[in-house]
């Protein structure tokens, strides 16, 4: 580390996050810093070069050589191979007997054809000369019968003689040799017609023993061609309550197609499609044609639901993915929430609220998380959250929608404030323009993770109550959509987590702009594939993920498309998950625990602390942030009465006042149009904060000239300021 003499390390810097951080300050005093050492940072977590010994080279070759069988490389594969061998040995007597019987049948069939001179007879028939050749064929048949009788007689004689002379031992040996010959004759051969037995019992188990059945299933499902075959990468092994196998498809066949046509494969394997999990193996160990399959013994979701593990924990770190549910293979699926947002969609009574509450539970158990909960279902489901939430409301009236608009405006202002403050923080505390775990827990910085839960978000999004936004009436729902889109886009980096649940995941209700910026999606059962795509994303049904195919009885089961890694793997696009079961009493316990944690940490604020403050609305800042609309006075338009001459100016300008319309309007034009006295008009406009400015405009002769006038942005701000003053004092309360 080198140092500049004019700069010293101020060891008495203010403590940040409990630790003293060195801060650089200018100082004229020269401070001795001891010897100056020069060094280099080495990251010893990276793979370091190792000496290549003969043993290492051999081990490397052994592990990578395609000539060494897989069961000699991996312990689980060896165990499975031993099990398969034991099963094969136990089954061998039956298989042998079966082969001998088939050999006898094949032999007898062959003999019948020979004795009836079938080939000659057929040829004669085909050339329509059977009548001519009849005598000849008959003689030959008689002769062959005689040969057969003679052979039998000779064999019987030989058996009798051998028995008399040498005893029964040679006969046993001959019998054994004959049975081997018959078993070879009757062995199962690919493509031998009439020799492939119909499979009895569940095919699920058969393919684990006989890979040929798996190949046939792939062929039947038209995932590979008639002449193509599969390569087993890993033989079938027992994993959880099912069987797992990894296969390589023939060249040019795609694993994505197998995932897409899982239903056909499930049918070919005679299992329900919920029992079959097919995933493309990605990354280093995989390629575009490698598929990992897992087939459950029974419907994995018919088991009783599992309670959330959060019940047993005393606290949770919101930065850790929250336990969300379990997949069919019973792997735990955790959902990362910070730095992303979540959309939950389903038809009624499928477990949306339960899923959203699971996400909330993890955040509630972190005392540093600030919660905004808006329950437009207006039921009891979210009531317990009122004990921990900074802002809470439950209801589905227009006044609740207007209150939500105020919350969102407050949050947009909050996000902007956080970005401004982050810009001023040094690189040690804030390395990027993103909230870090330490920052979120530093009360001096006041940037806690802020989670916004909106249940039945379609209610505010469809609300038609007109609100005046920058002098123009817009439906409240449209404005909520814009604010949510902005928050979902910019909020995550500033520590805002949006969780939206909707009963109507259709394209009209959830604006496409909003959907596009919601990082994580969870689709429980919906009516058709279009709705499923709206929640999960475009074309997801063609990639094999369609939540309309989930069964109605599978409550809490949905397709999760996470924004980040899950236990199913970082490269897995989506997984079917059954959420943990968290009934109301567990939810209440968690909320009480969250309250106790907040009381202990001194972070209980707002509604939960009995201080329902009005949202802080920085309308001008929001106007700049949202861009398209400007400042949002969240009161119904008809309730606003603009004073003169502002009302006349707004009327006169109409749509031209909108952003994207005129930039300024000359004073002379207004005076003439409104027929007002110029000095009084100027004074009244000044009272509303509109001061005339000089603007350069091109004149009729082509030259630029200066004109006095008003900026339309100033007029818009004046309108919004009046609207803000006319907000009904009860209209913005948190819990109306």
Ligand X SMILES: Nc1ncnc2c1ncn2[C@@H]1O[C@H](COP(=O)(O)OP(=O)(O)OP(=O)(O)O)[C@@H](O)[C@H]1O
Query: What is the contact surface with ligand X in residues (CB under 6 A)?
Result: 305, 346, 348-354, 377, 503, 555-556, 578-579, 581
Minimal distance, residue 583 CB to ligand X, in Å? 7
Angle between helix axes 678-687 and 667-674 (nearest 10 degrees) is 110
Minimal distance, residue 387 CB to ligand X, in Å? 20
Closest CB to ligand X among 203 and 377? 377
Q: Confirm or deny that 351 is annotated as ligand binding.
A: yes
Report the C-alpha gap between 578 and 524 in whole angstroms. 9
Minimal CA–CA distance to 359: which of 302, 396, 316? Answer: 316
The values of phi and psi at residue 414, to 5°, are: -65, -45
Minimal distance, residue 622 CB to ligand X, in Å? 31
Minimal distance, residue 459 CB to ligand X, in Å? 11
Q: Confirm or deny that 346 is annotated as ligand binding.
A: yes
Minimal distance, residue 335 CB to ligand X, in Å? 14
Instruction: Say which residues have a Cβ less than 8 Å from residue 523's Cβ, sequence separation at least 6.
Output: 344, 345, 346, 505, 532, 535, 536, 547, 558, 559, 561
Residue located via tokens 């942005």 = 713
Residue located via tokens 């106790």 = 596
**Quick one: tokens of 374?**
């808006």
Instruction: Say which residues have a Cβ less than 8 Å from residue 197's Cβ, sequence separation at least 6.
Output: none
Residue 255 CA: distances (Å) to CA of 18, 149, 172, 249: 51, 60, 54, 7
Count Cβ atoms below 10 Å from residue 427 Cβ, excluding itself.
7
Contact between 401 and 460 (Cβ < 8 Å): yes
Report the C-alpha gap between 95 and 106 in whole angstroms. 16
Minimal CA–CA distance to 288: which of 338, 325, 253? Answer: 253
Residue nearest to ligand X (CB): 556
Q: Confirm or deny that 347 is annotated as ligand binding.
A: yes
Closest CB to ligand X among 206 and 579? 579
Closest CB to ligand X among 268 and 498? 498
Cα 653 to chain centroid, rounded: 48
Minimal distance, residue 532 CB to ligand X, in Å? 15
Minimal CA–CA distance to 529: which of 260, 325, 265? Answer: 260
Beta strands in 403-490 (DSSP E): 450-455, 466-469, 472-475
Label each residue of 612-644 as H, E or C.
Answer: CCCCCCCHHHHHHHHCCCCCCCCCEHHHCCCCC
Minimal CA–CA distance to 577: which of 372, 330, 406, 382? Answer: 330
Closest CB to ligand X among 518 and 670? 518
Minimal distance, residue 355 CB to ligand X, in Å? 7
Query: 261-280 burial by CB neighbour count: b if 16+ within 10 A, else e?
Result: bbebbbbbbebeebbbbbbb
Closest CB to ligand X among 382 and 392? 382
Minimal distance, residue 240 CB to ligand X, in Å? 19
Q: Confirm or deny that 350 is annotated as ligand binding.
A: yes
Instruction: Say which residues have a Cβ less than 8 Å from residue 527's Cβ, sequence separation at least 6.
Output: 347, 548
Contact between 582 and 307 (Cβ < 8 Å): yes
The values of phi and psi at residue 121, to 5°, are: -60, -45
Minimal distance, residue 317 CB to ligand X, in Å? 23
Closest CB to ligand X among 386 and 556? 556
Closest CB to ligand X among 16 and 568? 568
Closest CB to ligand X among 354 and 664? 354
Closest CB to ligand X among 409 and 459? 459
Q: Confirm or deny that 173 is annotated as ligand binding.
A: no
Minimal distance, residue 735 CB to ligand X, in Å? 20
Judged by DSSP in three states, 327 sits in: strand
The values of phi and psi at residue 216, to 5°, are: -60, -40
Query: 314-328 burial by CB neighbour count: b if 16+ within 10 A, else e?
Result: eebbbbebbbbbbbb
The values of phi and psi at residue 523, to 5°, are: -110, 115
Minimal distance, residue 81 CB to ligand X, in Å? 39
Minimal distance, residue 374 CB to ligand X, in Å? 14
Helix ranges restricted to H, 167-275: 169-185, 203-209, 211-220, 255-260, 262-268
Q: Contacts by 74-78 with C-beta closer than 8 Å and gap 24+? A: 76/237, 77/234, 77/235, 77/237
Residue 269 has what DSSP assignment? T
Q: Confirm or deny that 353 is annotated as ligand binding.
A: yes
Minimal CA–CA distance to 690: which of 660, 720, 662? Answer: 720
Closest CB to ligand X among 204 and 566? 566
Closest CB to ligand X among 103 and 321? 321
Minimal distance, residue 350 CB to ligand X, in Å? 5
Closest CB to ligand X among 591 and 715? 591
Minimal distance, residue 381 CB to ligand X, in Å? 6
Closest CB to ligand X among 586 and 714? 586
Closest CB to ligand X among 235 and 578? 578
- Which positions make up the binding site? 346-353
- Which positions make up the binding site for ATP? 346-353
């Amino acid at each position: 580390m080198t140092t500049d003499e004019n700069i010293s390390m101020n060891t008495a810097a203010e403590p940040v996050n409990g630790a003293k951080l060195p801060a650089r300050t200018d100082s004229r005093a020269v401070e001795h810093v001891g010897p100056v050492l020069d060094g280099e940072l080495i990251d010893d977590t990276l793979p370091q070069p190792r000496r290549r010994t003969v043993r290492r080279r051999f081990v490397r070759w052994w592990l990578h050589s395609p000539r060494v069988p897989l069961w000699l490389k991996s312990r689980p594969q060896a165990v499975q191979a031993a099990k398969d061998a034991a099963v094969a040995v136990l089954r061998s007597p039956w298989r042998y007997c079966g082969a001998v019987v088939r050999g006898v049948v094949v032999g007898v069939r062959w003999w019948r054809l020979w004795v009836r001179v079938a080939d000659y007879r057929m040829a004669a028939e085909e050339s329509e000369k059977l009548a001519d050749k009849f005598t000849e064929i008959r003689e030959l048949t008689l002769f062959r019968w005689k040969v057969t009788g003679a052979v039998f007689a000779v064999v019987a004689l030989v058996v009798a003689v051998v028995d008399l002379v040498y005893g029964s031992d040679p006969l046993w040996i001959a019998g054994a040799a004959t049975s081997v010959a018959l078993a070879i004759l009757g062995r199962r051969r690919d493509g031998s017609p009439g020799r492939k037995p119909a499979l009895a019992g569940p095919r699920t188990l058969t393919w684990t023993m006989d890979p040929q059945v798996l190949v046939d299933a792939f062929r039947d499902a038209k995932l590979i061609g008639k002449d193509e075959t599969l390569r087993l990468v890993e033989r079938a092994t027992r994993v959880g309550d099912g069987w797992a196998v990894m296969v390589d498809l023939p060249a040019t066949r795609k694993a994505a197609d197998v995932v897409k046509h899982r239903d056909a494969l499930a049918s070919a394997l005679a299992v329900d499609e919920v029992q079959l999990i097919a995933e493309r193996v990605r990354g280093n160990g995989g390629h575009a044609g490698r598929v990992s399959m897992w087939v459950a013994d029974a419907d994995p979701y018919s088991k009783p639901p599992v309670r959330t593990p959060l019940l047993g924990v005393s606290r949770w770190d919101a930065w850790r993915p929250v336990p969300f549910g379990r997949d069919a293979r019973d792997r735990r699926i955790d959902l990362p929430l910070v730095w992303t947002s979540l959309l939950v969609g389903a038809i009624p009574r499928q477990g949306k609220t339960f899923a959203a509450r699971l996400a909330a539970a993890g955040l509630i158990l972190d005392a540093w998380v600030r919660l905004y909960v808006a329950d437009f279902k207006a039921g009891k489901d979210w009531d317990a959250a009122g004990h921990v939430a900074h802002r809470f409301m439950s209801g589905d009236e227009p006044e609740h929608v207007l209150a939500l608009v105020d919350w969102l405006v407050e949050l947009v202002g909050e996000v902007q404030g956080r970005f401004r403050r982050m810009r001023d923080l040094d690189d040690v505390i804030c390395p990027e323009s993103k909230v870090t775990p330490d920052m979120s827990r530093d009360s001096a910085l006041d940037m806690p993770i802020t989670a916004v839960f909106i249940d039945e978000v379609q209610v505010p999004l469809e609300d038609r109550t007109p609100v005046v936004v920058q002098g123009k009436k817009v439906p409240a729902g449209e404005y909520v959509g814009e604010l949510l889109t902005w928050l979902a886009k910019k909020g995550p980096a500033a520590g805002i987590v949006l969780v939206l649940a909707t009963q109507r995941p259709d394209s009209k209700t959830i604006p496409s702009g909003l959907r596009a910026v919601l990082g994580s999606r969870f689709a429980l059962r919906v009516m058709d594939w279009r709705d499923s795509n709206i929640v999960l994303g475009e074309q997801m049904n063609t990639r094999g993920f369609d939540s309309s195919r989930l069964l109605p009885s599978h409550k809490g089961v949905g397709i999760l498309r996470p924004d980040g890694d899950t236990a199913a793997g970082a490269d897995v696009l989506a997984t079917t998950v059954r959420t943990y079961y968290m009934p109301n009493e567990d939810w209440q316990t968690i909320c009480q625990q969250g309250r106790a944690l907040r009381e202990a940490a001194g972070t209980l604020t707002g509604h939960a602390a009995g201080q329902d403050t009005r949202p802080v609305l920085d309308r001008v800042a929001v106007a700049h942030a949202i861009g398209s609309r400007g400042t949002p006075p969240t009161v119904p338009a008809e309730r606003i009465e603009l004073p003169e001459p502002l009302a006349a100016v707004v009327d006169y300008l109409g749509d031209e006042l909108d952003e994207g319309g005129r930039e300024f309007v000359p004073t002379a034009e207004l005076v003439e149009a409104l027929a007002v006295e110029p000095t009084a008009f100027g004074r009244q406009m000044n009272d509303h904060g509109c001061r005339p400015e000089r603007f350069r405009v091109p004149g009729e002769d082509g030259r630029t000239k200066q004109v006095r006038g008003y900026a339309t942005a100033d007029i818009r701000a004046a309108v919004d300021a009046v609207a803000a003053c006319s907000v009904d004092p009860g209209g913005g309360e948190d819990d109306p």
